[in-house]
Amino acid sequence: MKTFKESFIKKKPLRMASAKAQSAMEYLMTYGWAILIISVVLAALYQLGVFNPMTFAPKAPPGACQVFRPNGPGTTQFINLEGVCSGELPQYVMEVIEPPSNGIPSYIEAKNTPILTIPTTESMTISAWINVISERSGFGNEFLNIGFDGSYDEGEIRDNCYLFQMVRGGYQEMNFGPQLGQWYFYTGVYSYNGVGGNVYLYVDGEYVGGGPAGPGTATTGNVIIGEVANIGALNATEISNVQIYNTSLSANDIQALYLEGIGGAPIDLQYLVGWWPLNGNANDYSGNGNNGQIVGNVIFVSNWWSGYTPP
């Protein structure tokens, strides 16, 4: 026969376990909604890139690195880089938004200067980091035009197929198909051979294709960075670190430029024509003074690094 004392001792742990379970349920009912809300907020912040390591990486302010030409614009003697030129992430990048209401083109334009007049009998390299956030229907967006005179383009980069074109001499078009919301490093090279030339196309430092193209004819020397087509459908694009050279950079040079990352400095100062980091302004930091003018809806954003993976 069990004594009262024995029965009490055996039942006591059960009562204690029941009390603990009840206490846990009361805790969850009291604080469960707060825990759920905190979890949702943390997930949203993660999606916005708040916990991205690049959020806390050092950022170079506007004008942190530039080319110094002691003998003035257009000269090549004793040129060098000055400032913080170690490839730090930019503090800002250019963002172009073309609203559907009016379709007004938005861009930065550096107008007629002798330094930017690229002869049709001259080789050329253009490069830029581009992130297409949203894309309009129809043909791709024209992000970079060299020698634009209102009708023709000397050299051109577009997004949906990655195109580098020489006017009235044919072009090369590659069906690259970039992913929306991802940064890519685009490079187009035109190598003149005396009567015409060849174009070579690179994405993220890798050769993707090319072929023959005749010489261009536009010689106004304008540079347009941004959206130049008047289509009238919503489009948003981020652009950074535009560089132009009056020579055909080698595959090794282009790979080296890519490996520097989105904040990389020019690699061949001798042939550098223009350099627009677009880190907070439209200035040319090549030492040639080809500062741009903002037209339309161009802004500079600091939360640009979503979709960017360092090389």
Could you read off the pLDDT of 222-272 as tens digits, one per residue?
A: 788 876 554 545 567 889 999 989 899 999 999 999 999 999 999 999 999
- H or E element: which one contains 38? helix 4-47
The tokens for 142 are 């024209």
Spatial distance between the Cα atoms of 94 and 92, rounded to a whole number of angstroms: 7
Interval 201-211 mean pLDDT: 86
pLDDT of res. 176: 56
pTM to 2 decimal places? 0.78
Q: Would you say residue 221 has pLDDT above 70?
A: no
Indicate if the pLDDT at residue 108 is higher than 80: yes
Residues paired with 165 in a beta bridge: 171
pLDDT range class, residue 180, cuts 50, 70, 90: confident
Question: Given this model, what pLDDT does residue 236 score?
Answer: 78
- Give residue-wise pLDDT tens across range 3-52: 444 444 444 555 555 666 666 666 666 666 666 677 666 555 555 555 56
Q: Which of these ranges, 17-26, 136-145, 175-184, has the smallest mean pLDDT?
A: 136-145
> Which is it for the CA torsion 148, 185, 298, 271, positive or negative?
negative
The per-residue DSSP string of 243-275 comes to EEESS---HHHHHHHHHH-TTPPPS-GGGEEEE
Nearest to 187 by CA among 166, 205, 160: 205
- Torsional sign, CA 198, 199, 205, 206: negative
Instruction: For residue 30, give the H/E element and its range.
Output: helix 4-47
DSSP string covering 39-98: HHHHHHHHHTTTT-GGGGS-EEPTTSEEEE-TT-TT--TT-EEEE--S-PEES-EEEEEE
At 111 the pLDDT is 79
The Cα-based distances of 122 to 102, 143, 187, 195, 249 in angstroms read 38, 22, 17, 11, 13
The confidence score (pLDDT) of residue 157 equals 55
Question: What's residue 2's pLDDT?
Answer: 47
Whole-number mean pLDDT of the chain?
75
Instruction: Specify the pLDDT at position 262.
Output: 96
pLDDT tens, residue by residue, 70-107: 999 989 999 999 999 988 899 999 998 765 555 567 78
Tell me the H-state helices in 171-291.
Answer: 251-260
